[in-house]
Amino acid sequence: MHTDFDACVRAVQSKDSRFDGWFFTAVLTTRIYCRPSCPVVPPKVENMTFYPSAAAAQQAGFRACKRCRPDASPGSPQWNERADLVARAMRLIADGVVDREGVPALAARLGYSPRQVERQLLAELGAGPLALARAQRAQTARLLIETTALPMGEIAFAAGFSSIRTFNDTVREVFALAPGELRARVAGGAQSRTAAAQETPGVLALRLPFRRPLTPDNLFGHLAATGVPGVEEWRAGAYRRTLRLPHGTGIAALRPEPDHIGCRLWLTDWRDLTQAISRCRRLLDLDADPQAVDALLSQDPLLAPLVAKSPGRRVPRVVDGPEFAVRAVLGQQISTAAARTHAGRLVQAYGEPVTDPDGGLTHLFPSTAALAGHDPAQLAMPQSRRTTLAALVRALADGDLDLDVGSDWQRARAQLAALPGFGPWTVESIAMRALGDPDAFLPTDLGVRYAARDLGLPATPAALTRHAAAWSPWRAYATQYLWATGDHPINLLPLEGVSR
């Protein structure tokens, strides 16, 4: 969008928050870059220039605005809508692959050379993978500086910087303040938009932004109703779950608020902060563009009333693709309650214990390596499903199947379909929630078929699929609206104080 100068100017002059993350406004006279909705008086048109990413603006010598904090804006929805090289690269960079493993490892995961990846990212985002990762490190550093009491040396390495000198230079360049000055601004009374300070040692409280509107009922209701005992729970108005992270473990508590998601993170290693935030945002589909989704779905007269009633429904996604694939197999052709029971038994037998300071979480979901050594005969399920689970775990453990954030959606579908016991429902469920494909569709799902019948949509899966072609590329969101017509607990925001 940044190449459409007039459209960008209109968005800036109207302070339209819908475009936060789509592009960044740089002011030539002040050398500051902002998000489109920055609350200050818009600059003169002749002083504006636009960049596709914060990293590109930083590379051009602009520093982040202290009022609108453009580095903390919602991410571009394109990276969750697309499955091409650039989108896959951006998802992997957000998950910290460049910081942990370097650009060659990023390119290897994508199946391209480092030079090709660099060229594609420069062409579309105006910055290469190292610059994009650097911008992300700067944002993580700011969060830790302003919201924790950690020493600056620990913050530097927790944010992913290789040295304290690089950390100091980057913070000064991006924010026009030294790290100590950033912390002093908060301590002096200016309230951080993320959180003022730690309330408990080892805990970070922050706000996760999103594009409005957002209907939380089915989003949090689905996560709570299908939560695995010991791994997930609903407690005191928040969804809580354990996290397996690159350097340690964590617990996330996510609470829906009118204009943001309240997030509290317990981390055993602060180096995992970037990945924890990225996975929480992905879990709740917070980088979606509800205006575009709802505008298209409203063109269908049978869906329009559902959209008008509860606009901004999100797709409840996951923090770990392999975990959800295992849970999808466990839940084949049984009730939600039975699927939770099976998953809970698997967690107790093979999950890694964790300590929860504020709730009842007890384990991480079992890793692929742990499940690879399990005895399928010990699971109380039909032999055919045991065979399916064993084949899935073997493919994941051997590296033949990639369900992580940077996976190729169509290739993963084909690989899943080749496994025994994987029909269209299981494959599309994984594509929708684990891979994040916004166009995944489940025409054979009973909830979808019942809703279609009640709304007057075509009754057979084949006819419904033909009708749903007009909903593309947002059929996963259409599924949420169809599911929401039922009275299943997945559609209801849990009551305060209810623990599941």
**What stretch of H or E contains 93?**
helix 85-94
Spatial separation of the C-alpha atoms in residues 342 and 326, rounded to whole Å: 11
Residue that the structure tokens 């994941």 belong to: 396
Spatial separation of the C-alpha atoms in residues 360 and 355, rounded to whole Å: 9
Residue that the structure tokens 């399916």 belong to: 388
Smallest CA-to-CA distance from 387 within 426, 434, 329, 345 is with 329
**What Å distances lie between residue 85 and 124, 141, 476, CA to CA?**
11, 28, 22
Active site residue 437: no
Spatial separation of the C-alpha atoms in residues 287 and 284, rounded to whole Å: 9
Active site residue 300: no
Spatial separation of the C-alpha atoms in residues 99 and 138, rounded to whole Å: 12
Ranges of H-type helices in 148-216: 152-158, 164-175, 179-187
Spatial separation of the C-alpha atoms in residues 406 and 414, rounded to whole Å: 16
Spatial separation of the C-alpha atoms in residues 421 and 29, rounded to whole Å: 62
Spatial separation of the C-alpha atoms in residues 343 and 136, rounded to whole Å: 35
Residue 82, C-beta contacts closer than 8 angstroms, at least 6 positions apart: none
Q: Would you say the C-alpha torsion 322, 326, 329, 334 has a positive or negative sign?
A: negative
Single out the catalytic residue among 8, 34, 65, 68: 34
Query: 238-244 and 232-235 as β-strands: parallel, antiparallel, unpaired?
Result: antiparallel
SS (H, E, C) 232-274: EEEECCEEEEEEECCCCEEEEEEEECCCCEEEEEEECCHHHHH
Residue 291, C-beta contacts closer than 8 angstroms, at least 6 positions apart: 18, 211
Single out the catalytic residue among 95, 99, 439, 445: 445
Residue that the structure tokens 């998802």 belong to: 91
Which sequence positions are flagged as catalytic?
A: 34, 445
